[in-house]
């Protein structure tokens, strides 16, 4: 993985923890959550506070996510909102953490100025021994506080202030006043600067999970379904209308169509369509040539044409389906009929903008794994797993390609591939409770 790390394609955008004060705060939070500490004086953390260096030091890459269900986190700065989430077991975890930091920006900024904030993403499931248990996850509640208990103290002080101002004898209660003074020294003036997390519950209707070989759960759609990545996983009966796996290509295509979740990439003969199709074909050509032992150093578009001719017999059916679409888009050829049975089908689909867009693109990327760029953008975990099995020429090509064509121009590449991103997906906060009748 050294090629990816050197180019910022792995462990990129992590937050550096390199001062004695921050290390000490991190250790206090780590001890509160796990009972362990680190001897490192410099490391990097992701949005959840997980550090790959500490994971290696402790021999436990899941020290903040022991069961893979309720992830713990450590916040040293609100800047962590821009960091990735490494080794995620749920697709919604980073979205929820980022939304939580955004929703409580002012409070968390104040708290992390003096201490670390430690917390956990809680749901009603504590283990995932059976796939059906995952369907009990419907909302995520975040509990968090500093290691000194600042938020709890602020809540306690607020209750004392209420008692002081409402009780007839409050002005004469020396014990009450002494308690208020003691807590105020720890929290500051909570009447002017309230320390409370105003939003800490989020809906978890649709998600991907790494459990059971990978499982996509779509519940907030017209026709709900669970789609397993590994057809050999024995999931048992699931409490959902439709249960599919990656071998059910026609059924997955029908699911996407019935719920209006995806649209074809090739909808016109525009330069954008032609560029996308050619790039996808180049990805497949590079993979085929690399698996045949070709060196792919500094290959150009002309080189890709030569490689395609040289390995024409080995190119997979998906490449030929894309080529037929390219002939239609670029040369005015006949419209090819590409059904869900065609290996090229999922290569030419993208999510329709909406709340499930990221999850749909994630699934489409895993259904079209030879498109390395889309796999990297939409499904990092699947990309790293695929990368580990590639020969060195393919690793070199992909690392150079992503550094050259994606890192410096992320927004434009995403817009070209996925179109309108004005309605990005994400976990909506829970509405305020109003009682059983609304």
**Each residue of 416-428: pLDDT tens digit?**
888 754 444 555 5
Q: Angle 122-99-358 (CA atoms, 0-180°, nearest 5)?
A: 95
Residues 35 and 139 in one domain: yes
Whether 267 and 406 share a structural domain: yes
Q: Is residue 47 part of a domain?
A: yes
Confirm whether 300 is domain-assigned.
yes
Indicate whether 343 and 409 sit together in one domain: yes
Cβ contact 172:55 at 8 Å? no
Same domain, 244 and 275: no
Q: Residues near 262 by Cβ (< 8 Å), separated by ≥ 6?
A: 256, 349, 350, 351, 352, 360, 364
Domain extent, residue 413, equals 262-418
Say yes or no: 18 and 67 in one domain: yes
In a shared domain, residues 333 and 306 = yes
Are residues 304 and 244 part of one domain? Answer: no
Q: Is residue 329 part of a domain?
A: yes
Residues 266 and 300 in one domain: yes
| 174 is a domain residue | no
Domain check: are 237 and 385 in the same one?
no
Whether 150 maps to a domain, the answer reads no
Query: What is the CB-side half-sphere exposure of residue 71 using CA atoms within 13 A?
Result: 24
Length of the chain: 438
Residue 153 resides in a domain: no
Please check whether residues 410 and 294 belong to one and the same domain. Answer: yes
* Both structure tokens of 286: 């590079």
Domain boundary among 102, 130, 145: 145
Task: Clarify whether residues 248 and 293 are in a common domain.
Answer: no
Same domain, 120 and 81: yes
Give the domain-ending residue among 258, 288, 322.
258
Give, for all 438 residues of the chain, the pLDDT tens digit: 889 998 888 988 899 999 999 999 999 999 999 999 999 999 999 999 999 999 999 999 999 998 888 899 999 999 999 999 998 999 999 999 999 999 999 889 988 988 999 999 988 677 788 999 999 998 999 999 888 877 766 666 556 666 667 777 766 666 766 765 676 666 665 445 556 787 789 999 999 999 999 999 999 999 999 999 999 998 999 999 899 999 999 999 999 999 999 999 988 888 999 999 999 999 999 999 999 888 887 787 788 888 999 999 999 999 999 999 999 999 888 888 889 999 999 999 999 999 999 999 999 999 999 999 999 999 999 999 999 999 998 999 999 999 988 988 888 888 888 875 444 455 555 544 433 322
205-232: pLDDT as tens digits: 999 999 999 999 999 999 999 999 999 9
What pTM does this model have?
0.87
Query: Does residue 162 lie in a domain region?
Result: no
Question: How many angstroms separate the CA atoms of 256 and 225, rounded?
Answer: 10
- Edge to edge, the sheet with strand 225-228 lists 207-209, 215-218, 225-228, 242-245
Where is the domain boundary, 198, 224, 258?
Answer: 258
Is 429 part of a structural domain of the chain? no
Query: What are residue 117's DSSP bridge partners?
Result: 75, 146
How many domains does the structure of the chain reveal? 3
């Amino acid at each position: 993985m050294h090629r990816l790390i050197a180019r910022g394609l792995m462990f990129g955008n992590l937050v550096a923890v390199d001062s004695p004060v921050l290390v000490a705060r991190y250790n206090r939070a780590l001890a509160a959550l796990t009972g362990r500490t680190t001897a490192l004086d410099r490391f990097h953390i992701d949005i959840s506070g997980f550090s790959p260096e500490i994971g290696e030091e402790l021999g436990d890459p899941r020290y903040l996510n022991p069961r893979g269900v309720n992830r713990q986190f450590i916040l040293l700065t609100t800047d962590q909102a821009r960091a990735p989430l490494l080794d995620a077991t749920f697709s919604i975890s980073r979205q929820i953490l980022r939304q939580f930091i955004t929703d409580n920006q002012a409070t968390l900024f104040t708290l992390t100025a003096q201490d670390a904030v430690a917390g956990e993403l809680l749901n009603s499931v504590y283990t995932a021994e059976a796939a059906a248990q995952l369907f009990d996850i419907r909302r995520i509640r975040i509990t968090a506080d500093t290691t000194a208990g600042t938020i709890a103290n602020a809540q306690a002080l607020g209750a004392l202030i209420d008692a002081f101002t409402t009780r007839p004898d409050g002005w004469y209660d020396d014990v009450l006043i002494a308690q208020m003074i003691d807590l105020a020294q720890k929290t500051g003036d909570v009447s002017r600067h309230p320390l409370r997390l105003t939003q800490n519950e989020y809906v978890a209707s649709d998600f991907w999970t790494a459990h059971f070989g990978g499982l996509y759960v779509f519940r907030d759609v017209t026709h709900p379904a669970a789609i397993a990545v590994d057809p050999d996983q024995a999931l048992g009966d699931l409490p959902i209308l439709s249960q599919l796996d990656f071998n059910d290509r026609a059924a997955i295509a029908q699911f996407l169509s019935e719920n209006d979740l995806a649209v074809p990439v090739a909808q016109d003969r525009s330069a954008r369509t032609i560029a996308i199709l050619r790039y996808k074909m180049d990805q497949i050509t590079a993979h085929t040539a690399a698996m045949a032992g070709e060196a792919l150093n500094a290959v150009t578009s002309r080189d890709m044409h030569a490689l395609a001719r040289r390995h024409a017999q080995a190119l997979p059916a998906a490449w030929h389906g894309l080529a037929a679409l390219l002939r239609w888009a670029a040369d005015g050829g006949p419209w090819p009929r590409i059904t869900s049975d065609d290996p090229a089908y999922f290569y030419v689909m993208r999510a329709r903008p909406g709340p499930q867009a990221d999850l749909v693109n994630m699934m489409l990327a895993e259904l079209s794994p030879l498109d390395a760029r889309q796999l990297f953008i939409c499904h990092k975990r699947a990309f790293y797993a695929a990368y580990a099995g590639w020969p060195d020429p393919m690793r070199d090509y992909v690392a150079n390609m992503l550094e050259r064509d994606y890192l410096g121009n992320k927004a434009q590449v995403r817009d070209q591939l996925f179109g309108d991103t004005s309605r990005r997906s994400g976990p909506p906060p829970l509405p305020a409770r109003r009682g059983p009748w609304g």
